[in-house]
Copies of this chain bind each other. A is one copy, B any other.
Amino acid sequence: MSKVKISLDAMGGDNAPRVVVKGALMALDDPDVEIFLVGKVEQLEKELKELTTDYDKSRLKLIDAKDIVEMAEKPTDALRKKESSLYIAANLVKKGDADALVSAGNTGAVLAIAMFVIGRIKGIERPAIATPLPSTNGFAVLIDSGANAIVKPHHYLDFAKMGTFYAQLLGKANPTVGLLNIGEEEEKGTDDLREAHSLLKNTLKDQFFGNVQGRDINNGVVDVVVTDGFTGNVVLKSLEGAAKFITTVIKKGVYKNGIFAKLGALMMKKVFDELRNKLDYRNYGGAFLLGVNGVTVIAHGSSDELAIKNAVNVAVKGVRMKIVDKIKESVENS
């Protein structure tokens, strides 16, 4: 297999660059991966030195970038920082030196720079973040889960097409699509949602399930849940918070209820491991920014090294699956 080259923004994320360097080293476990680690080289070298001397230097290359995009920086300001690690990392993909961009940095900035530097796929007006979430039916893709706070009715159709395609890549044969709304009836929600509903219905025909509600994300009713990036982001983070809250309540309960409950928890270890596995966002690693003309993976701002490693793995998968070419084909044929 030919090597997959990943351009990794070493300075993006709440715990950068330390965890990004660690994650990059972990990602080298896959012998077919090559990583461009983009950031302040002096700092990266120092981190690397403290961590290990024993890694394949031919597959981990340091690329210098003098500047950093801060986590709270406005996208418009970030776009002007042409010497930032994010900008330079994106440029490697644009020039064809790397196959995919991975960043745990400022989402708005990643979106803006990916769109501006790498560009959009022709026919897709608004790239969107697609996040697979666990459901009783395996998973459901939530799209847009954070790229576009305001969308127009016809954007929902783009999201539906890209989400469908992504669900297919992940193994669903005939993905069904639901429009996230406050009720199942066709006339629910805002004017924009009613227009989106009729557009999805007329275009996707049987593939369109209709409106779905918040509770349907996890319950396996549909394979793709389409929504605007504001609602998607809030829902995604709410679900993350709920999972954390529930595991905390269980842990505290076990601690409080003495040796008997502790032993019980031990005996249920397998069950809890499986649950953690299903809920832990780090296992998903990163989400594809679909619609950009190059594989782009956005990792969680609070990513640790495991999440970074998994985000690189997601990007590698996207490259191998030719996700960008295939979205192009599917847009051209529709």
Contacts and interface: CB of A to CB of B under 8 A. Distances in A.
Interface stretch (A26-34, A84-92, A162-170, A213-221): A213-221
| Copies of this subunit | 2
Contacts of A189: 149, 230
A264 B218 CA distance: 26
A253 B274 contact: yes
Interface in A159-214: 180-185, 187, 189-190, 213-214
Interface residues of A, number: 63
B231 A244 contact: no
Contacts of A149: 182, 189-190
Contacts of A190: 149-150, 230
Interface in A250-307: 250, 253-254, 257, 260-261, 263-268, 270-272, 274-275, 278-279
A4 to B, nearest CB: 31
Contacts of A123: none
Given A72-B185, A271-B257, A242 B244 contact: no
Contacts of A265: 264, 268, 271
13 contacts: A135-B245, A150-B190, A182-B229, A214-B238, A215-B244, A218-B241, A238-B242, A243-B246, A253-B275, A254-B268, A264-B265, A264-B271, A265-B268
A183 B229 CA distance: 12
Given A189-B230, A264-B267, A275-B250, A218 B236 contact: no
A154 to B, nearest CB: 19
B236 A214 contact: yes
A313 interface: no
Interface of A: 72, 74, 134-136, 146, 149-150, 180-185, 187, 189-190, 213-219, 227, 229-231, 233-246, 248-250, 253-254, 257, 260-261, 263-268, 270-272, 274-275, 278-279
Given A241-B218, A268-B261, A234 B279 contact: no
Nearest to A279: B246
Contacts of A213: 233-234, 237
Most buried by B among A150, A180, A183, A266: A183
A238 B241 contact: no
Most buried by B among A241, A246, A279: A241
A238 B264 contact: no
Contacts of A215: 237-238, 240-241, 244
Nearest to A265: B268
A218 B313 CA distance: 31
A267 B260 contact: yes
Contacts of A214: 233-241
Contact of A274 (B183, B240, B249, B272): B249
Given A261-B267, A264-B264, A264-B268, 11 more contacts: A149-B189, A214-B234, A214-B235, A216-B241, A219-B241, A235-B238, A250-B271, A250-B275, A261-B268, A261-B271, A267-B267
Contacts of A217: 238, 241
